[in-house]
Amino acid sequence: MKKFLNSQIYRPIASFLIFLFCYALPNQSFAIGGEENWPNKPIRMIVGFAAGGGSDLVARLMAKELGDQLGVNVIVENRPGAGGNIATEAVSKAGPDGYTILFITSAHSSSAAIKKTLSFKPVEDLTWISLVATYPLVILSSATGEFKSFEDFVSRAKAAPNKYTFSSSGVGTAMHLVGEWVMSEAGIQVTHVPFKGGSAPVTELVAGRVDVMVDTMPLSAGIIKDGRAKGLAATAPKNVVSSFNIPAVANYLPAVEFESWLGIAGPPNLPADIKSRLNKEINFIVNKPDVKKRLIDFGCKPYANSPEEFKSLVVNDIALFKKVITKANISEN
- If the chain, 333 residues long, is cut into consecutive pieces of 10 residues, what is the mean pLDDT of each piece? 49 47 40 66 94 87 98 96 91 97 95 92 97 94 94 97 93 90 95 82 92 89 90 86 82 93 97 97 98 90 97 96 88 69
The yes-or-no answer to whether 35-135+260-328 and 136-251 have a common fold is yes
Structure confidence by residue, pLDDT tens digits, 75-123: 999 998 888 899 999 999 999 999 999 999 999 999 999 998 899 999 9
pTM over 0.85: no
Q: What pLDDT is recorded for position 72?
A: 97
Q: Is there a contact between 301 and 316 (Cβ–Cβ < 8 Å)?
A: no
Q: Where exactly are the structural domains of the chain?
A: 1-25, 35-135+260-328, 136-251
How confident is the model over 178-223, as pLDDT tens digits? 999 999 999 999 999 988 766 788 899 999 999 999 998 878 888 9
Q: Rg for the chain (alpha carbons), in Å?
A: 25
Fold of 35-135+260-328: D-Maltodextrin-Binding Protein; domain 2 (3.40.190)
Cα gap 264→127, rounded to integer Å: 9
> How far from 126 is each of 40, 41, 96, 160, CA to CA, in Å?
23, 22, 10, 45
Q: How many CB atoms lie within 10 A of CB 26?
A: 5
Residues in contact with 247: Cβ distance below 8 Å, sequence separation at least 6, in sequence order: 150, 233, 234, 241
CATH number listed for the domain at residues 136-251: 3.40.190.10
Burial of 70: CB neighbours in 10 Å, binned 0-12, 13-18, 19+: middle
**Parallel, antiparallel or unpaired: strands 74-78 and 43-47:** parallel
Angle at 146 between CA 140 and CA 152, to 5 degrees: 75
Strand-strand pairing, 165-168 and 212-216: parallel
